């Protein structure tokens, strides 16, 4: 107890210096929290975009689809008559909140004298909105079940084909047996999906119309939303087991399996996060090491006295590390409070980022407080303080006792 009391009182010997040291630790800890918070917010934005803008939580395909669908797209479609059985299994799974079917295809769209290629997404009109939360209708209306040949065009595609809501287009595509087929559709609306490539090429077509165009009753994928993103892996395992037990030869892919862009960005930013953590830790160490060195040098004679009285060097190092640990704890706590408060305020206001690569609209972000990363930031700052204390402490006890007493 006396050692603890001594350590605490030593910390407040020089209030101004202690305040500076605490400010340096707190600033470092806050910087880590805020930088990490910005990055985790971006991660969350990308994740939400991947799940609710594109992939859902899970996608169910015919087994072998991932490896083989590019070479043989028709071989890996799910027969329409299997869908009710699959839907029943999915509806019985407690985490599943929404299910929809999709069928992607390519074709040509003709509007009077203009013909352009497009990528079609056959979707279920009503429920599709739940799976495309980031999609904004900028002209006209969304898909409707009472208009089976009403389609939505991406903003860029609409410009390319010179189409407005209300215009009629003729769509041409190849059927499963290689013949050409065509249907007429009406443009119900124009959407803005956020990604330029997506907006330039995509047409959303009611599933029944897409199946009519392709002359096939099959579907490519069943998309599933869950009530908890963290349960995605467990849900996949459970569904794969259920499908197998019901004799359905299906593969289940998670959004993480499918979201390559998300995965690449996350990997890149995680590396950046590590580099920033290292840089901030070094800055904290250098800032604190200076004041700790001054503080320790001023007390050289005191350490000489303690050693003359029989204190072993490790005891003195221990005392100084205890002081550093307490300083680190207080500074880190202050940094946590400041970082969290700033994060809350900034998140409420919002940070407007320019449009990310490939995107067509700015991104409004915030600062996320992720418990694991908060803990990591605090431990990093605290460890940096201990390291900054250890270096001068080890140097201090290398001084000979008589030399220390002469100081």
Binding segment toward other proteins, per CB under 8 A, in 149-157, 186-194, 278-286, 304-312 = 304-312
308 contacts other proteins (rule: CB under 8 A): yes
Each residue of 276-308: b (16+ CB within 10 Å) or e?
bbeebbeebbebbbbbbbebbeebbebbbebbe
Residues 6+ apart with CB under 8 A from 279: none
CB of 392 to other proteins, least distance (A): 19
Among 75, 133, 301, 344, binds other proteins (CB under 8 A): 301
Residue 402 near other proteins by CB under 8 A = yes
Single out the residue of 74, 147, 159, 302 in contact with other proteins (rule: CB under 8 A): 302
- Indicate whether 305 belongs to the interface with other proteins (CB under 8 A): yes
The C-alpha atoms of residue 204 and residue 199 are separated, in whole angstroms, by 11
Least separation in angstroms between CB 10 and other proteins: 6
Query: Of the listed pieces 63-71, 74-82, 193-201, 297-305, which binds other proteins according to CB under 8 A?
Result: 297-305
Question: In whole angstroms, how close is the CB of 349 to other proteins at the nearest point?
Answer: 45
Query: Among residues 104 and 305, whose Cβ is nearest to other proteins?
Result: 305
Burial class, 312, CB count within 10 angstroms (exposed 0-12 / middle 13-18 / buried 19+): exposed
Of 74 and 302, the one with the shorter C-beta distance to other proteins is 302
User: For residues 172 and 108, is the Cβ–Cβ distance under 8 A?
Assistant: yes
Q: Tell whether residue 307 is a contact of other proteins (CB under 8 A).
A: yes
By CB under 8 A, tell whether 16 contacts other proteins.
no
Question: Which position has the token pair 């739940």?
Answer: 130
Alpha-helical regions (H) of 178-312: 196-201, 207-214, 232-245, 255-258, 260-298, 300-308
Query: What is the largest distance, in Å, between two alpha-carbon atoms of the chain?
Result: 100
Nearest-approach distance from CB 351 to other proteins, in angstroms: 46
- The answer to whether 54 contacts other proteins (rule: CB under 8 A) is no
- Counting contacts by CB under 8 A, is residue 324 touching other proteins? no
Cα dihedral 360, 366, 367, 368 sign: negative
* CB closer to other proteins, 228 vs 298: 298
- Contact between 145 and other proteins by CB under 8 A: the answer reads no
Q: Hey, is 177 helix, strand or coil? A: coil
DSSP strands (E only) in 124-248: 136-140, 150-154, 168-174, 180-192, 202-206, 221-226
- Write the DSSP string, 257-286: HH-HHHHHHHHHHHHHHHHHHHHHHHHHHH
Q: Is 306 in the site for other proteins (CB under 8 A)?
A: yes
With contacts defined by CB under 8 A, name the span among 8-16, 136-144, 286-294, 357-365 that binds other proteins. Answer: 8-16
Please give the residues from 219 up to 278 whose contact with other proteins meets the rule CB under 8 A.
none
Position among 13, 85, 112, 271 found at the interface with other proteins (CB under 8 A): 13
Q: CB of residue 24 vs other proteins: minimum separation in angstroms?
A: 22
Q: Is residue 17 involved in binding other proteins (CB under 8 A)?
A: no
Tell me the C-alpha distance between 296 and 322, whole Å. 13
Minimum Å distance from CB 38 to other proteins? 42
By CB under 8 A, residue 315 contacts other proteins: yes
Nearer to other proteins, 259 or 404 (CB): 404
69 touching other proteins, by CB under 8 A: no
Nearer to other proteins by Cβ, of 126 and 401: the residue is 401
Q: How far is CA 40 from CA 62, 212, 373, 390, in A?
A: 34, 44, 9, 32
- Burial letters 72-104, b for 16+ CB under 10 A, else e: eeeebbbeeebbeebeebbeebebbeebbbbbe
Interaction site with other proteins (CB under 8 A): 1-3, 5-6, 9-10, 13, 301-302, 305-313, 315, 400-402, 405
């Amino acid at each position: 107890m006396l050692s603890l009391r001594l350590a605490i009182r030593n910390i407040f010997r020089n209030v101004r210096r202690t305040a500076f040291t605490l400010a340096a630790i707190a600033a470092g800890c806050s910087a880590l929290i805020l930088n990490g918070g910005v990055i985790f917010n971006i991660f969350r934005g990308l994740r939400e975009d991947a799940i609710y803008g594109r992939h859902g939580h899970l996608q169910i395909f015919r087994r072998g689809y991932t490896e083989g669908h590019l070479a043989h797209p028709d071989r890996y479609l799910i027969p329409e008559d299997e869908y009710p059985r699959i839907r029943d299994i999915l509806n019985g799974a407690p985490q599943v909140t929404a299910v929809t079917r999709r069928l992607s295809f390519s074709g040509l769209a003709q509007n009077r004298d203009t013909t352009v290629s497009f990528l079609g997404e056959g979707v279920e009109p009503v429920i599709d909105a739940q799976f495309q939360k980031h999609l904004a209708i900028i002209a006209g209306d969304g898909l409707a079940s009472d208009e089976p040949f009403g389609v939505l065009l991406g903003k860029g595609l609409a410009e390319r084909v010179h189409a407005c809501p209300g215009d009629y287009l003729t769509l041409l595509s190849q059927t499963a047996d290689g013949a050409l087929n065509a249907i007429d559709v009406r443009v119900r609306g124009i959407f803005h999906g956020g990604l330029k490539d997506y907006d330039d090429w995509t047409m959303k077509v009611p599933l029944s119309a897409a199946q009519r165009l392709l002359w096939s009753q099959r579907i490519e994928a069943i998309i599933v939303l869950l009530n908890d993103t963290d349960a995605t892996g467990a849900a996949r395992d459970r569904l794969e087991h259920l499908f197998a037990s019901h004799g359905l030869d299906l593969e289940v892919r998670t959004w993480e399996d499918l979201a390559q862009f998300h995965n690449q960005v996350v990997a890149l930013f995680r590396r950046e996060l590590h580099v920033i953590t290292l840089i901030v830790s070094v800055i904290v160490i250098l800032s604190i090491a200076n004041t700790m060195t001054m503080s320790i040098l001023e007390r050289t004679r005191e350490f000489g006295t303690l050693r003359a009285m029989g204190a072993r060097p490790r005891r003195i190092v221990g005392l100084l590390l205890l002081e550093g640990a307490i300083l680190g704890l207080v500074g880190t706590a202050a940094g946590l409070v400041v970082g969290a408060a700033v994060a809350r305020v900034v998140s409420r206001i919002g940070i407007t980022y320019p449009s990310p690569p490939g995107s067509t609209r700015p991104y409004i972000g915030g600062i996320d407080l992720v418990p694991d990363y908060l803990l990591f930031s605090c431990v990093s700052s605290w460890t940096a303080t201990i390291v900054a204390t250890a270096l001068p402490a080890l140097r201090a006890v290398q001084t000979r006792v008589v030399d220390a007493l002469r100081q």
